[in-house]
């Protein structure tokens, strides 16, 4: 993968021949711990910097800095620093910040369902940009059909009531227990 191009300017007259031709090399590279291989390489005649290893992981190392040298035919050197920032892709899974979430809720006034969420959950995800989707897992426990999950603009998720709740129903007053899910894959729907 090409990362960038380093260019040095040599003010020798190109007509002087070999003196003006620059040769690039990396003076100080970064070494990949596991393999001991240098992470970057440079094309000696063009100054194009590439990755010499398969993968860069932003969650591990977001920034690199290497030292590049340009040398002319007469052996005169110029040094420059190349700073490389690894851009984020969404490659880490989200995780709820708690294993279990608890809340209390008032029974509903007949079929009048409140708009306000009864619980807001948070997730941890190492990526900078995510596409969270929340849901109540169907048939995952008693009450799963009475609630739904929505995503808020700040990335958190909220639980809302979608079916009447009745305190006089003994099963219901004992409480509900079901599973919720978050994922951050982008899903495309085909509409016919």
Rounded distance between C-alpha atoms, residue 135 and residue 148, angstroms: 7
- In this structure, are residues 39 and 53 in contact, taking their beta carbons and an 8 Å threshold? yes
Closest approach of Cβ 160 to Ca ion, in Å? 24
Beta carbon nearer to Ca ion, 58 or 151: 58
Rounded distance between C-alpha atoms, residue 8 and residue 25, angstroms: 12
Measured CA distances, 22 to 25, 57, 73, 144, 151 (Å): 10, 32, 7, 69, 55
Among 125, 135, 143, 181, binds Ca ion (CB under 5 A): 125
- In this structure, are residues 126 and 89 in contact, taking their beta carbons and an 8 Å threshold? no
Among 40, 82, 121, 130, binds Ca ion (CB under 5 A): 130
Closest approach of Cβ 10 to Ca ion, in Å? 39
- Verify binding: residue 145, Ca ion, rule CB under 5 A: no
Say how many C-beta atoms besides its own lie within 10 A of residue 14's C-beta. 9
- Which residue lies nearest Ca ion, judged by its C-beta? 127
Closest approach of Cβ 50 to Ca ion, in Å? 19
Binding-site size, Ca ion (CB under 5 A): 11
- Verify binding: residue 12, Ca ion, rule CB under 5 A: no
Among 12, 41, 88, 107, binds Ca ion (CB under 5 A): 88
| Residues at the contact surface with Ca ion, assessed by CB under 5 A | 57-59, 88, 90-92, 125, 127, 130, 184
């Amino acid at each position: 993968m090409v990362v960038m191009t380093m260019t040095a300017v040599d003010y020798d007259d190109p007509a002087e021949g070999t003196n003006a031709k620059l040769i690039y090399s990396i003076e100080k590279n970064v070494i990949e711990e596991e393999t001991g291989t240098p992470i970057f390489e440079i094309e000696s005649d063009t100054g194009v910097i590439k990755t010499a290893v398969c993968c860069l992981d932003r969650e591990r190392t977001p920034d690199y800095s290497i030292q590049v040298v340009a040398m002319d035919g007469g052996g005169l050197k110029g040094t420059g620093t190349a700073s490389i920032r690894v851009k984020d892709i969404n490659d880490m899974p989200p995780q709820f910040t708690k294993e279990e979430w608890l809340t209390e809720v008032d029974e509903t006034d007949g079929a009048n369902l409140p708009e306000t969420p009864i619980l807001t959950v948070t997730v941890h995800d190492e990526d900078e940009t995510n596409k969270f989707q929340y849901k109540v897992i169907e048939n995952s426990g008693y009450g799963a059909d009475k609630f739904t999950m929505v995503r808020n603009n700040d990335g958190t998720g909220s639980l809302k009531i979608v079916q009447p709740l009745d305190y006089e129903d003994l099963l219901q007053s004992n409480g509900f227990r079901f599973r919720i899910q978050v994922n951050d894959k982008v899903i495309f729907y085909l509409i016919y």
